[in-house]
Amino acid sequence: MSKRIYVAESIAGTIINAGVSFAKESISLTKGVHERDKTNPMLAPERFAIREQVMQKTIGAVVMSIAGAEAIVNEQLANYTNEKLLGGYYGEASIEGRKRLAAVQNEGVFDKRQNALDKAQIILQVLDLPALDRGTNPVQDFSALIALRNALVHSEFKPRPHGSAFSMEERDALERRLIKRFASNSIVPDTASFIWQRCLGSGCAKWSAETACQFRNVFFKALGIGHAVRILWDCDNA
């Protein structure tokens, strides 16, 4: 009779890298438009098609970056609480802290409605480790990225203030939160709406991937796991 085995295989890094891949494609497409404009500018229909592709790749970068961050937090929660996962590295967490975390999980404190940042903060609190600073980056950027992802996957078709007649204070809350965090989509006119045309460009895509990566690093640092990662951007002018 064959033995019954269980396998726990990490997928978080692959999901994060999917966000990076989408971002690189968005950057490459944008660069191609600018290179083309130097010699033979695109006609409007072709430019519209490329713009749509850039926006699609950027959405992929946003959604997969958050999905990867959520997977990182969930995998660490399992690593600290699941007795079947042997040989994990626990950083600064004590045995007592891991027992408390397992008890909290069994009480149903964690659920699918919590975002990665909130869940990470609970984990650190229960382990009696320093909380992530919500007043500085990359935590502020990550919170803004969560808001962008939520606005996309739960999108509302509604009129938003647009044009120079509106002050920044009168603009949409999401626009105010994002507009200074990354470069606007450079293949649409400055007069285009921020949500969604100027928002969903290569600058946003790169920011999304970088933000998820940096969130992962500060979370691991807070846990006492000193393995930082960075993205190698092989796109020219990325």
pLDDT at 90 over 60: yes
**Nearby residues of 172 by Cβ (< 8 Å), 6 or more positions away:** 160, 161, 194, 195
Write the DSSP string, 75-144. Answer: HHHHHHH-TTSTT---TT--HHHHHHHHHHHHTT---TTS-HHHHHHHHHHHTT-PPP-TTSTTHHHHHH
Residue 191: band (very low, low, confident or very high) from pLDDT cuts 50, 70, 90: very high
Q: How far apart are CA 66 and CA 78, in angstroms?
A: 18
pLDDT at 80 over 90: no
Q: How far apart are CA 61 and CA 22, in angstroms?
A: 5
pLDDT at 54: 98
Span 154-168, pLDDT tens digits? 999 998 988 888 888
Span 14-67, pLDDT tens digits? 999 999 999 999 999 999 999 988 888 888 889 899 999 999 999 999 999 999
pLDDT at 40: 83
Q: DSSP assignment, residue 172? A: -
Of the chain, the percentage scoring pLDDT greater than 90 comes to: 66
pLDDT at 85: 60
Instruction: For residues 64-85, give the mean pLDDT.
Output: 89
Instruction: For residues 68-82, give the mean pLDDT.
Output: 91
